[in-house]
Chains A and B, each alone.
Chain A
Amino acid sequence: MKTSRLRAAALSTTAVVVATVALAGCGSSNDDASGKGTVTITVEGWRPGDQQATIDYVKQQAAAFHKLHPDITVVPKEWQWNAQTFPAQLAGGTLPISFRVPFTDTKGLVERHQVADVDKEIRALPYFDELNPNVLAAAEGTDGKVYGLPSDVYANALHYNRQLFAEAGLDPDQPPTTWDEVRADAKAIHDKTGQAGFGEMTKSNTGGWILTTLTYAMGGRVESEDGKTATLDNPGTEQALQLLHDMRWQDQSISANNSYDWAGVNQAFAAGKLGMFVSGSDVYNALVTTDKIDPKEYGLAAIPLTDSADAGALGGGSVNVVSAKATPAQAKAAVEWADFFRVKKYTDQDAAVADAKAQTASKQPVGTPTFPIFDQASYTNYQTWIKDYVNVPLDQMKGYTDSMFSLKLISEPPVQTQGVYGVLDPVVQKVLSDKDADIPSLLQEANQKAQQLLDQG
């Protein structure tokens, strides 16, 4: 009796396990098998933790798109770019067909053939020739083909805490416009308030990202234009590191505790522990939704540029790419969706207003300065269309918005972007943790490593 019951239990457990395994095997069905002449695509919809209003908005847009394109069904999914989970999702077939990737990661995915070639589809878009060439460069592979549609573009800028500026006796409406002023203001903030005057990202490749931003601002480049030669040991990078070194060791305006990644520096800034830091011009959105910054304390200024003719602001953003596993029909549909959902609002008033309305309803920041994906005229038009819905303190962002159109936007290093940033991370860390760091030899060493990466292609 006991044995038969045991036997039954064991056999049923086996049956369950076998059935589960079999079902798991069936899980990766083909999204394309949705009937004759029609195509279904899964798309990046909303981020984990987004409010219901945002989810509803994306679903409404998917339905509206289906009306315009009855042969395409769009299934939005909760998704957010994550370099760690991406390979498993790609291999397991759970990646959306259409999704966004930061500028920094696009080239790596292209090199590894992990995104589809949509060159023909993107070039067929009516506004293709009007796309800002510097912005489009981020979506291009080394073969010159276009692998996605850029959106959500920003220029790296200087963010500052108005409260700390006031406490240090500085004018919050006069943010620094030269690096000497940045240094002097940072020192004043540290001396008068005890907080760090300047924060510098150092971890997870963000150290290299911001050092490259400073390099560009000082007229340097970390790679040759063709991406074949590493130029990390250029005077601009050296000058930038020397500035960081002096702020850390002479002025103490960079804290001994300075060890941040993107999220960490946002958190410290929102908590009032940093006078200034450099990050994307649209980081205000994250500061509000994630770090609950007091809007009154926030100030945004353009990144100071030296007199060098090559000085400019490093630009970033997202590229709407298509999964390498998409069928040609799905790839075409995905580009149409990206156009409809992400870019059209800059060329279509109704789309712009609907988007701003939905964001206001879900208490998201509306009107945070980005960077024109086309030209000044289209950007100004867009800002006019959404004027009634703007809920960010634009007055406190004049330091950036007043000069953004004259700002020279420079694309990220074209080859091995993340790899080169990764090589620069330890250099920034060394300069901020070792008073006697030998900057020229550190850069020479880093340049050799970067060259090895570039030689691999």
Chain B
Amino acid sequence: MVQFEAPAGPQPGRRRPTFPATTDAERSDDRSVMARQGRWATWWRGGGPVTVAFLVPMLLAFGLFSWWPIVRTAVMAFQQTNLVEPAHWVGFANFRHVLTDPLLPTALRNTAIFAGLAFLFGYPIPLLLAIAMSDLRRMRGLFAVLAYLPVVVPPAVAVLLWQFFYDASGGGVFNTVLGWFGLGPVPWLVSSHWVLPSLVLEATWAAAGGTVIIYLAALTTVPKELYDAAQVDGAGIWRKLVHVTLPHLRTIMLVTLILQIIGTAQVFLEPYLFTDGGPDNASLTVLLLIYNYAFGSTTGGGDYGDATALSLLLAVGLAVLSWVYFRLTRSWSDS
């Protein structure tokens, strides 16, 4: 693990409040009061109020819009409320209800398949793209821009665009192209077998650009001399990749992997906008189920307690997963 340690000794350019020695002051109350006043004065003069003042807006903003809703979510998971009358406590009833919901296994399975497919296809693609781009001598910027463009397209617009691609009749863009080779038509979004791979394909297209940029930045930190040395030793492209590039990227790769796992476990936008969980719940994900509990497609809505209970379970699950992940990969991520 990279450790950031403050260098010993005085640090030029950095103002630190210097507190008066207190050993003498402890001997007498008067002197103690004076010392305390002195501390306050020093804290005040040394920029203490500025620190607090800078901190307060951030604390308020995070507190109001981030931490307080999290606390309320945790509380609401144990309540039943209609948001009008006072909420009443129901113990673990909400948890029991969501855990026995026959749709939960479906949602978990779909989410796991989505995450698995995204790992298989969505994870290596940005890495390979970045490595290929970093080897370009010219127009690297242009390709980086091209790779990043899908990230700039608003997700709802991208979904509309891809709906044309995924048109299941013979006239859709993909099916037309497949038709040239005598293949298809593939029932992309309207088949329970094809729907998840179709969503992963679009999600990968939409998100890969961001990860490519991260990898490209990381690749610039790999010392050129290592490649030269490897070349002198007779290493080809493949061995340079395996023995120089990937070891240097592994810390970043570990982070992007856990981010991807968390992101795909919370996939909502694609199934919500493309299929609303269909056909036959084949693309119902955990987050879409949570949404439906509260706002109503599949269950009739209004079950805010169930929605928050499942949200809490998902959050705890992901937190535990992240902890286990970092424990397991701790030795591997040490550089």
Binding site for B on A (CB under 8 A): 3, 6-7, 10-11, 13-14, 17-18, 21, 83-84, 87, 90-91, 108-109, 111-114, 202-205, 255-259, 261, 324-325, 416-419, 422-423, 425-427, 429-430, 432-434, 449, 453
Contacts and interface: CB of A to CB of B under 8 A. Distances in A.
A84 B295 contact: yes
Contacts of A449: 102
Interface of B: 47, 49-50, 53-54, 56-57, 60-61, 64, 82-85, 102, 167-169, 172, 185, 187, 189-192, 275-276, 278-281, 292, 294-302, 304
Contacts of A423: 298
Contact of B83 (A90, A108, A433, A453): A90
Given A7-B50, A17-B60, A426-B278, A108 B301 contact: yes
12 contacts: A17-B57, A83-B296, A108-B300, A112-B82, A204-B297, A205-B297, A422-B299, A426-B278, A430-B279, A433-B190, A433-B280, A449-B102
B280 A429 contact: yes
A83 B295 contact: yes
The 10 residue pairs across chains A and B that have the minimum distance between CB atoms: A429-B279, A419-B300, A10-B53, A91-B83, A430-B280, A422-B298, A418-B300, A426-B280, A433-B279, A112-B82
Given A87-B302, A325-B84, A261 B276 contact: yes
Q: Is the interface of A mostly helix, strand, loop or mixed?
A: helix
Given A113-B84, A257-B167, A3 B60 contact: no
Nearest to B172: A257
Given A91-B84, A324-B85, 11 more contacts: A7-B49, A21-B60, A21-B64, A87-B83, A114-B84, A259-B189, A418-B300, A419-B300, A426-B279, A432-B279, A433-B190
Nearest to A84: B295
A202 B299 contact: no
B29 to A, nearest CB: 32
A425 B282 CA distance: 12
Contacts of A433: 187, 190-192, 279-280
Contacts of A257: 167-169, 172, 190
Contacts of A325: 84
Contact of A18 (B60, B275, B278, B300): B60
B41 to A, nearest CB: 15
A61 B293 CA distance: 39
A241 B220 CA distance: 60
Contacts of B82: 112-114, 324
A112 B302 contact: yes
A90 B85 CA distance: 11
Given A419-B300, A422-B297, A433-B187, A114 B83 contact: yes
A112 B80 CA distance: 10
A429 B278 contact: yes
